[in-house]
Chain A
Amino acid sequence: MNYNPLVPVWKAYQVSVECFDIAHQTIKQNKTELFTDSDWPSQPNAKQYIVEARQESNDLFVVGLWATFERFVISYLQEKGAVLQNISPIALANPVYEQFKREVEFWKSDDILNLLKEIPSINSHLIGQAKTILRYRNWIAHGRDSDKAVKILLVN
């Protein structure tokens, strides 16, 4: 697992940023011939639609990043938990592992982060940052409650 699963998500986000920019320039330069199959670029608020769509995309990017990170960590734990298949009595080993594999899918992200904090090579400061990002992700995923705001700098 020595690869960064977040890289493809990040690259996709960068491409989307450039696409929004190109769409904006295209509308600004009135190149309507590029939109033969779509009528929204010719609408009066087309440029505003791009700004709003970009914001939506930014938020979904954070949700996507977190989902990818979470999947990565859960897969890691399932892989590490495979040693449960070696316990005795042997008849219990496989069912215990299968139970663990299923259950870990439902572990709370906060608890998983606390677990990772136990690994000496992982900087606990980074875990603290991840928890803040999780709160931001939850804020977005739960409808951006304007009475409960958390903020985060662009994740690089």
Chain B
Amino acid sequence: MNIIEEQSGEQAKPFFLAQVDQLFDDIKNGLADKQQLHIEQQEVRLNEELTGVYMAPKLVISSSEETLADIKPYGAHIIEAKGRIDIIGGGRTENIGYFINGGPRLAADKQLYQEIEADGWYWVANSSEPKAGAINQDLFLKLLKGVSHYEL
């Protein structure tokens, strides 16, 4: 049974939105000393089979010259995750998933991502070998720099 089958939309949506809010607060606090950056909170319309249409917050991070990245919630019903947020820059997109209980497993005793310990938001690498990283300020700045090629 997968996440989509086992979790109704009404259960998943508020959990997802609460985690998005928490992460966005952390991002805003973490970037507070970056005077050259402007952070604007907007809304994005999401549509998922089990929840229908709903609105979620998104962050737009800009420099004085250009938009660097959209931090955009993608959905609550994700295979093996409790939600996904995309960091969308001009050059590339990075994906963040909210994982619980060690995240995806290849077998009952074998995690796909060894890096997943506590429940939380994790970056998932676009690589053939499974690689993840807990989202913290340093990793977020690295991802922001990677998608925008902007020197922070």
Contacts and interface: CB of A to CB of B under 8 A. Distances in A.
B79 A133 contact: yes
Contacts of A14: 126-128
Contacts of A123: 107
Given A123-B107, A147-B47, A151-B77, A20 B1 contact: no
Given A7-B128, A151-B48, A153-B97, A24 B91 contact: yes
Contacts of B97: 153
A26 to B, nearest CB: 10
A28 to B, nearest CB: 6
A87 B4 CA distance: 43
A117 interface: no
Interface in A120-139: 123, 125, 128-129, 131-133
A17 B126 contact: yes
Interface residues of B, number: 33
A150 B1 contact: no
B48 A149 contact: yes
A147 B48 CA distance: 9
A20 to B, nearest CB: 7
Nearest to A29: B149
Nearest to B49: A150
Q: Is the interface of A mostly helix, strand, loop or mixed?
A: helix
Contact of A148 (B49, B75, B125): B49
Contact of A51 (B5, B75, B79, B90): B90
B107 to A, nearest CB: 7
B56 interface: no
B71 to A, nearest CB: 15
A20 B2 contact: no
Interface of A: 7, 10-11, 14, 17, 20-21, 24-25, 28, 47, 50-51, 54, 58, 123, 125, 128-129, 131-133, 146-154, 156
Interface of B: 1-2, 4-5, 46-49, 74-81, 84, 88, 90-93, 95, 97, 107, 112, 124-128, 130, 149
